[in-house]
Chain A
Amino acid sequence: MSPVKPLSPHLQIYRPQLTSVLSITHRITGIALSIGTCVLLYWLLSVAAGPEQYAKAQTVLRCWLVRVALIGWTWAFFYHLCNGIRHLFWDAGYGFALGTAYKSGYAVLVASVIFTGLIWACVVSQQGAPL
């Protein structure tokens, strides 16, 4: 009953590398985004409940704590979206060369930060205040 199976080395003995860190980040952002769908649901329910409830929700969504969470969520969204596209290319069989995996990884990081900046610049320019 002793299975002679090759075991992969334990996670602790690996030095973290860009590729492995990006991989676990995809999972963490996926979980964060799943929690974030509650905010979307809250927003939809407040619109359905009428003007008063909607105004209340607006205030809640503008308090600074929720704001910070929303900015983090925006980054998580763009990261997961861009890295998800990277995943889909792998699923189709492209982009496995080590150099390519590193380049696409850096591209995902840069793109997610730029998109998050653009979205919040757009919000701030309309509301006239950062928080």
Chain B
Amino acid sequence: MSLRSNLGRVKGLGSAKQGVHHWRVQRLSALALIPLSLWFVTALMGLVTAPHSAVVAWLAQPHITVLLLALVTALFWHAQLGLQVVIEDYIHRPGRQIAAQLVVRAGAILGALAALVAILKISLGIS
């Protein structure tokens, strides 16, 4: 038995073939987040009572800067891809759906850029 509706069969519409890429990036970002987020949370435990100068000194080490940039990129990417699916599942009116996707995407991109600039600013000693 075919699961396609009569209308669907007539129109001959298939998927846009974008799903596999989305799925793959969502899993890849999840895989990257396992070590990165665990490292960050444990690293934070060493900064609980640290003064500003110590936080800056920690962050400015090249390998820490690189790991933080990677964490922020994977994090915002993963969150945006995840929220996209949630919106697709619950918001069905086309106009609202597109508006919600745009807001989440813009928020994720702006948030990611702000975080990346902040990390670079601290790391390069620009004040």
Contact = CB atoms under 8 A, between A and B. Distances in A.
Interface of A: 1-6, 27, 30-31, 33-34, 37-38, 40-41, 44-45, 47-48, 50-51, 54-55, 77, 81, 84-85, 87-88, 91, 119, 122-123, 126-127
B118 A47 contact: yes
Contact of A88 (B31, B59, B119): B31
B122 A41 contact: no
Given A81-B37, A88-B31, A123-B45, A1 B7 contact: yes
For the residues of B in contact with A, the DSSP-based class is helix
B115 A44 contact: yes
B30 A34 contact: no
A51 to B, nearest CB: 4
Contact of B75 (A27, A37, A50): A37
B34 interface: yes
Interface residues of B, number: 39
B48 A126 contact: yes
Q: Which of A33, A48, A119, A126 has the most CB of B within 10 A?
A: A48
A47 B111 contact: no
Given A1-B6, A41-B111, A122-B45, A51 B52 contact: yes
Interface in B42-85: 45, 48-49, 51-53, 55-56, 59, 75-76, 79, 82-83
Contacts of A47: 52, 55-56, 59, 118, 122
Contacts of A33: 79
A54 B121 contact: no
